Amino acid sequence: DAGITQSPRHKVTETGTPVTLRCHQTENHRYMYWYRQDPGHGLRLIHYSYGVKDTDKGEVSDGYSVSRSKTEDFLLTLESATSSQTSVYFCAIGTGGINEKLFFGSGTQLSVL
Amino acid sequence: GQQVMQIPQYQHVQEGEDFTTYCNSSTTLSNIQWYKQRPGGHPVFLIQLVKSGEVKKQKRLTFQFGEAKKNSSLHITATQTTDVGTYFCAGPYFGNEKLTFGTGTRLTIIP
């Protein structure tokens, strides 16, 4: 498997609290992605990064922000968690381009009570 | 918006039976990729098809990309317990390089 580490693996938090998920890669890939996975919806793109400090929104970006201060780290922040953000979050890395294939981390199970 | 639907959402088969999942896009895709996610695991890349009408095989798995590049299928012959998992298709739309994932088909095997 590609060198991608997500932390934490599991988190339980309360509505209204801030939450930060971390993705760390050792592959030096330019592109990094955050997806959420929910039953019946597959994988939906939240935000992605195409370089240090270069980020863009995906299809479900509301309520989320990201930062990438180093090539290897991509952070996903929920400023004020809501119950609708209970999900499994996956980080992925890729080389970019039209034929890009993605390598996924092991995921973070987030529960917002 | 751009949508990629997969059918069926769930499939239960007896071990040894065949299995097929279908992927349909609302617009043309520049290529199609397939990923497999084992229960409790993460998606893992299986294959990519690029050409219209392309067919590729990986042992018991056969992947097809439609002539109009709007649909695809994955067929597994003689399923085994190791085939259990959720299969996702994904494709980048022309003009947008980011992958849009299908809704997935969850395959369970009855021994």
Q: Does B108 score more than 90 pLDDT? A: yes
> Rounded to a whole number, what is the distance in angstroms from the first to the last CA of chain B?
40
CA B57 to mean position of chain CA atoms: 13
Q: B102 in contact with A at a CB cutoff of 8 Å?
A: yes
Q: Which residues contact A64 (CB under 8 A, 6 or more apart)?
A: A34, A46, A47, A76, A77, A78
Residue B53 has pLDDT above 70, yes or no: yes
* pLDDT range class, residue A1, cuts 50, 70, 90: low
- Has residue B96 got a pLDDT over 80? no
Confidence of residue B44 (pLDDT cuts 50, 70, 90): very high
The neighbour count for residue A37, using CB atoms within 10 Å, is 21
Which residue among A43, A99, A107 sits closest to B48, beta carbon to beta carbon?
A: A99
Position B9 scores a pLDDT of 93
Of B43, B98, B102, the CB nearest to A45: B98
**pLDDT value for B92:** 82
CB contact under 8 A, A90 and B42: yes
Residues of B in contact with A48 (CB under 8 A): 98
Indicate yes or no: CB of A43 within 8 angstroms of CB of B101. Answer: yes
Chain-chain contact of A100 with B97 (C-beta, under 8 angstroms):
yes
- Torsion, CA A65, CA A44, CA A60, CA B2, rounded to 10: 140
Confidence (pLDDT) at B69 = 94
Asked whether the predicted pLDDT for residue B107 surpasses 70, the reply is yes
Residues B83, B79: Cα–Cα separation, whole Å: 6
Peptide bond between residue B8 and the one before it cis (omega within 30 degrees of 0): yes
Q: What is the pLDDT of residues A3-44, one digit of tens each?
A: 999 999 999 999 999 999 999 999 999 999 999 999 888 899
Q: Residue A63 has what pLDDT?
A: 96
Tell me the count of A-B CB pairs closer than 8 A: 52
